[in-house]
Amino acid sequence: MSTTPASKRNISLTGDIQFTGLQLNDPMEVSAGMLGVKEALRHSVKEMGIVRSMRALLAMNQEEGFRCPSCAWPVPEKPSRIAEYCENGAKALADEATLETVDSNFFQKNSVEQLSRLSDYELNKLGRLTVPLVLRPGKVHYEPISWEDAYAVIAKELKSLDYPDEAIFYTSGRSSNEAAFLYGMFARALGTNNMPDCSNMCHESSGVALSQTLGIGKGSVTVDDLYGAEVVLIVGQNPGTNHPRMLAALEKCKKNGGKIISINPLAETGLVKFKNPQKVGAMLGSGTAIADIHLQLKINEDIALAKLLLKELVARDGETGSVFDHNFIQSKVAGYQALLTDLEQYDATELMERTGVGKEKITQTVELLASKSNIIICWAMGITQHKNAVATIQEYVNILLLKGAIGKPFAGTCPVRGHSNVQGDRSVGIMHYVSKELNQRITDHLGFDPPTVAGYDTVGAIKAMHEGKAKVFICLGGNFVMAASDTAYTAKAIQNCRLTVQVSTKLNRSHLVTGETALLLPTFGRSEKDMKQGQLQFLTMESSTGKVRRSKGLLQPVSEHIKSEPEIIGMLAHTYFEGKHSMPWKALAFDYVAIRKLIDKTIKGFKDTDQRSKGFGYYLPNNARAGDFSKLPNGRAKLTVNPLPGHELKEDELLLMTIRSHDQFNTTIYGLHDRYRGIYNERRVIFLNANDMEQRGIQKFEVLDLVSNYEGKERRAEHFLAIPYDIPEGNAAAYFPETNFLVPIDEFADKSRTPISKSIKITLEKR
C-alpha cells in the first residue's frame, strides 16, 4: 500500500503566530492572597460549573480524596481543612475536569492540518478527548476506532518490528504508580529499556548528582524538616508559581525563626511576600516576607557562587574550627582534603564578580551558613537544565556535607519535583538505564528475563527516531514534541515513525505532529471516578518527599468511552501477548490490588502498599535521610571537586533561560497572563536588562526574533516583544515551550543529558 509520509502532512509547529494584546504592569510584590483565591475559583467555575468545582476542590489532597494533578509538593501530615490546594492546583484541576469536550464529529470537521494552525493555548481550550481515534496513513482527519481495534493496530506494529528496540515508550509524570509499573514492565517484557521520561528533561541532573554523592537520587527532607530548619536556600526555583503550597511550609519555617535565602536571577514574587490563602487572618494583613536575602546572581553562575561561599566558610572554619561539623566529616564524608586544595586556586573577588552579587549579601549569607547547622537546600529547574547542572548540584551538596546538614532532622536536600508523580514513576521502574537488582527481582517475581542493555533517554529517543532506528513511539501522557528540545528536529523525528500512540486527557500539538499512523487514546484524569467490578478504585502516587499515598477520584468521567491508564496498558499487553506471558495482563488491567501486590514484591522499599497508602500514606526508605552511606564507596558520602565552567559568549550574545509563566503547566497553557511578573495577555515576550536593550538600540515592545547559533547551525524563534525587566545584564528570559526551537538537540547536561533549557546562547534580531 502506498502511503503518504507523515512529514508530508502540512502541520504547523507554532500555530499562526500572532500577538494577543500585551499589557504591562509592575511585577507584584505579594503572592497568593485574595486574588489567588479569586483566580482559582474563576478558573474552576468557568471550566467545571459550581457544583463540580466545589465537590472536586473540597476533595483535593484530603485523606479520602485525590492527589492534586499539578506539582509533586507533598501534602502535610495535617492538611488544611479549608483548602489544601493552591491557585495553580485549582487551575490544573479545572483544566483537567473541564466540561468542554471534543468528539469524533469534531475531528471529522477539523483536520490535523487545520488544528495545527491554532496556538497551544487554543488547542488545550478545546477540551477533553472522549473517544479513541485513529489517523490513518495519508489522511488528515482522525476517525473513531474501537478500543479492541486500537490495541490490535499497536500489537501488529510492535510485532512487525525487526528488534524490540525499534519501539520507544515515553512517560510523562502524571501517571499513577500502578500504570507506570505495568507500562515499564510491558516495555521490558517486549524486550526494550527504551523508556525516556519527562525526568530526562527535568530532575535527571538531581538524580545523577545525588546518587553519586549521597547514594540516593531523591531528596532527603520531609515537610516537617522544613518547619524546623534554621536556614533554607531556594535555588533556581519559583515556588510562588510552580509549588505554591511550599510557601506555607516556608512561612511556618520563618515563624519558627528560620531564615530563607533565594538564589535566582529574578526576584520572584512568591519569594518576596506571601499571603497564606489557608488562613483567614493572613489574608487581611500585608503578607509574610519570605526571602530574607535574595542573591540575584547571573544565569548559570551557581558554581562560582557555591565555590565563593565554600571558600569563605573554609576561611572562617580555619579561624574557629567550629563552622564545619568535623565529627561528621571525619566519620562519614570522603574528599575533604581534595576539596580544600581545589578551593585554594580560586580568587574570591573574581568569583564574586562572576556571580554579579554584591559583597554585603554574600557576607550575610556566609554568616548565616557559618552560624547555623540545620540547613536545607531546595532547588528546581534553575540549576538542573544547564550543561554543568550535575556539577552545580554537587557544589551545593558540598555545603550541606561540610555542615553535617544531612541525615538529621531539619536539614538536607530538597530537589523539588515537578509533575505530581514523576518520582513515583521512576521508583516503580520507568527508567532507560538498567538496575541489576531490579532485573533480578523481575525474573524472580514476574517470571520473565528483562533486557540487560540500557535503552534510549529523551535525547537518545529523538535521535533514534530521526535516524529511522525507531519506528513505534508510544506516549503515556505528556506533550513530547513541545516539551523536548529542538522542536523542528524533534517533530521531524516523530514524523519518521510508522506509528505514534498518545494516551492523553486533552488535545495538544503532539496529537498533530505524528507518525504515519497515529492513535489517540483518551484516558481518565486524576479527579475522575474509576469503577472496576462495581467498586470505586484508588491509585497511588509518591510525592517529592518520598511518601506513597492513595488517590481516589470522585467526579463523573467526562465520557463513558474513556479508559483508565492501567486498563489501557494491561489490555494492550494482553492483546500483544495473546494471553501467553508470565504476567496475567488482562487480570491486572482490572485489578489494581493485584498490581500493588506485584509492586510490593518487585520494587524495593514498597511494602503492603494497598493498606499502608491509606490516610496520609507511608514513606519509602531513604538512606540519606537516615544518614546511612554504607552503599557508597568506603561507606562515605562524597564531596566533589568540579571545574568552574567557562562561558564563551560572543559580544552580541545573551544567555537565555526558558521559564514558566504563572498561567501554564508545562506545555499546557491555561491563560495568557503572568500576573506576578506584571505581564498580561501575551506570551511572546522576552525579558531583557534595560542596559542590554539600550546598547542594542532596542525599544520597549519592539518585535524581535531570537536566534541561536551552535556549530554553525542557526535556529530561530520568531516574534517576541522586548520588555525591560529586573534581570542581570547579559541575561534574558522567555517562556517555554515557544522557545524550545532554540535548544539544539546536542546541547545537554554532562552526565544527565538534560537539555540546556536554562542557558541558551542567543542573539536578537530586529524584524
Ligand X SMILES: Nc1nc2c(c(=O)[nH]1)N[C@H]1C(S)=C(S)[C@@H](COP(=O)(O)OP(=O)(O)OC[C@H]3O[C@@H](n4cnc5c(=O)[nH]c(N)nc54)[C@H](O)[C@@H]3O)O[C@H]1N2
In the complex, the residues that contact ligand X under the rule CB under 6 A are: 70-71, 88, 172, 174, 198, 201-202, 235-238, 241-243, 263-266, 268, 299-300, 302, 380-383, 385, 418-419, 476-480, 483, 503-506, 508, 523, 525-526, 565, 657-660, 664-668, 736, 739-740, 743, 757-758
Strand 703-710, strand 713-724: pairing: antiparallel
Neighbour tally for 730: CB within 10 Å: 16
Q: Which partner in Mo ion, ligand X, none is near 429 (CB below 5 to 8 A by kind)?
A: none
Strand 23-24, strand 668-669: pairing: unpaired
Asked whether 538 and 551 are in contact (CB, 8 A), the reply is yes
Q: How far is the CB of 202 from ligand X (least distance, A)?
A: 3
- Alpha carbons 106 and 182: distance in angstroms, whole number: 32
Neighbour tally for 341: CB within 10 Å: 10
Instruction: Please report how the helices 302-320 and 336-344 are oriented relative to each other, as an axis angle in degrees rounded to 10.
Output: 110
DSSP 420: T
Q: Which partner in Mo ion, ligand X, none is near 735 (CB below 5 to 8 A by kind)?
A: none
- Alpha carbons 586 and 93: distance in angstroms, whole number: 30
Nearer to ligand X, 300 or 575 (CB): 300
Q: How far is the CB of 568 from ligand X (least distance, A)?
A: 9
Nearer to ligand X, 128 or 254 (CB): 128
Distance of CA 340 to the CA centre of its chain: 35
The Cα diameter of the chain in Å comes to 80
**Residue 737 contacts Mo ion per CB under 5 A:** no
Asked whether 520 and 132 are in contact (CB, 8 A), the reply is yes
**Residue 92 contacts Mo ion per CB under 5 A:** no
- CA separation, residue 632 to residues 334, 436, 629 (Å): 10, 16, 6
Q: Which partner in ligand X, Mo ion, none is near 383 (CB below 5 to 8 A by kind)?
A: ligand X
Grid cell for residue 300: 548559570
Nearer to ligand X, 147 or 328 (CB): 147
Q: Which partner in Mo ion, ligand X, none is near 217 (CB below 5 to 8 A by kind)?
A: none
**Residue 522 contacts Mo ion per CB under 5 A:** no
Q: Which partner in Mo ion, ligand X, none is near 362 (CB below 5 to 8 A by kind)?
A: none
Neighbour tally for 315: CB within 10 Å: 14
Q: Which partner in Mo ion, ligand X, none is near 407 (CB below 5 to 8 A by kind)?
A: none
Q: Which partner in ligand X, Mo ion, none is near 234 (CB below 5 to 8 A by kind)?
A: none
Nearer to Mo ion, 201 or 493 (CB): 201
Q: How far is the CB of 238 from Mo ion (least distance, A)?
A: 13
Nearer to Mo ion, 514 or 757 (CB): 757
Nearer to ligand X, 307 or 332 (CB): 307
Q: How far is the CB of 378 from Mo ion (least distance, A)?
A: 15
Q: Which partner in Mo ion, ligand X, none is near 550 (CB below 5 to 8 A by kind)?
A: none
Nearer to ligand X, 71 or 182 (CB): 71
- Alpha carbons 16 and 19: distance in angstroms, whole number: 10
Binding to Mo ion by CB under 5 A, coded x per residue (else -) over 230-269, reads ----------------------------------------
**Residue 383 contacts Mo ion per CB under 5 A:** no
For Cα atoms 323, 324, 330, give the angle at the middle one, nearest 5 degrees: 150
Q: How far is the CB of 8 from ligand X (least distance, A)?
A: 25
Q: How far is the CB of 747 from ligand X (least distance, A)?
A: 11
**Residue 418 contacts Mo ion per CB under 5 A:** yes
Q: How far is the CB of 693 from ligand X (least distance, A)?
A: 19
Nearer to ligand X, 150 or 743 (CB): 743
Element (H, E) at 706: strand 703-710
Q: How far is the CB of 483 from ligand X (least distance, A)?
A: 3
H helices, E strands: number in the chain? 30, 33
Nearer to Mo ion, 332 or 753 (CB): 753
For Cα atoms 118, 123, 126, give the angle at the middle one, nearest 5 degrees: 125
Distance of CA 54 to the CA centre of its chain: 28
**Residue 755 contacts Mo ion per CB under 5 A:** no
The residues, any chain, with a CB within 8 Å of residue 281's CB and separated by 6 or more, are: none
| β-strand partners of 334 | 638
Element (H, E) at 376: strand 375-379
Question: What residue ranges bind Mo ion (CB under 5 A)?
Answer: 202, 418
